[in-house]
Amino acid sequence: MNVLVTGGGGFLGRAIVTRLRARGDQVATLSRGRYPELAALDVEEFRGDILDQVLLQRAVQGRDAVIHTAAKAGFWGPTAEYWRVNVQGTQALLAACRQAGVPRLILTSSPSVVFDGRDLEGADESLPYPRTYSAPYPASKAEAERLVLEANDARLATVSLRPHLIWGPGDPHFLPRLVARSRLGRLRQVGRSPKLVDCIYVDNAADAHLLALDRLNPGARIAGRAYFLSQGEPIPIFELINRILLAADAPPVTRTIPTWFAKLSGTVLESCYLWLGLTREPPMTRFLARELSSSHWFSIDAARRDLARL
């Protein structure tokens, strides 16, 4: 196939590009930065803003499919910027795909689009979107997912994949921040009861995107649907964190704070940072406190059924 990967220089995007090239697909990427490793893979690179309509039209022209991994992630930041990149960027990409006649679009979404702060244990894709969100990232990703799934029709087949806690070599976000906080002594377990969470290795998340790509066509079983992705083996969240820290030769998490204190700290710190006009991320936010103090693991039966190898 001839595939465009938005965010192709990112952690997951680069793994997807590598696999596409390994099996002989023609690949182009759309990213803001320059990535020499992509050039080494003989990838056509488009650099710029995802809201640049001229650039988008050039990037999607002649493609058999688009895999949309580009997004603004994180627990903190201006709502307008999340909306601009995650929602308006997705709208612009959908419009460009329609104009160019691209028949397939795969969105990299997130399980956080259905997270309401309560325990989610074995939940499946029938779980509705919550009415409110505690951070702009899940809110904007949920809106982007709605746009993509509603766009599915006889001319443009769409699907949304929800990988949970992607980890692996080359991770520029989750692992480095975790290790840095550990070495500064700033990590605490939230609550005393073990809370199970899902995770997925980056190569497995990339493989799932290729499986979806090979099965996605207008009218296909997976068209217009969302799928949770994980290793299928939920693990207590702080056991997962300590395994990662052990591999990085960083101190484990040994101290605990009450759940109520973490949630209160998140609320107070967010208010203080906003009042003071601070742009850096607070050490605790409402969203992070809820993530660390609740179970969130999901059934992947639908993905196993519909994305399984033929």
Residue 111 near residue 162, CB atoms below 8 Å: yes
Where b means 16+ CB within 10 Å and e means fewer, 291-307 reads bbbbbbbbbbebbeebb
Residue bearing tokens 């397939």:
104
Residue 71 near residue 7, CB atoms below 8 Å: yes
State the helix-helix crossing angle for 89-100 and 53-60, rounded to 10 degrees. 50
Residue bearing tokens 């259905």:
114
Q: Give the span between the Cα atoms of 209 and 302, in whole angstroms.
A: 14
Residue bearing tokens 């377990």:
189
Residue bearing tokens 């982007």:
144
The β-bridge partners of 44 are 28
The β-bridge partners of 162 are 228
Give the SS3 label for residue 143: helix
Amino acid letter at 250?
Answer: A
Residue bearing tokens 């003989």:
42
Enumerate the active-site residues.
137
Q: Give the span between the Cα atoms of 60 and 78, in whole angstroms.
A: 29
Q: Give the span between the Cα atoms of 276 and 198, in whole angstroms.
A: 36
* Euclidean distance between the first and the last CA atom of the chain, given in angstroms as a whole number: 18
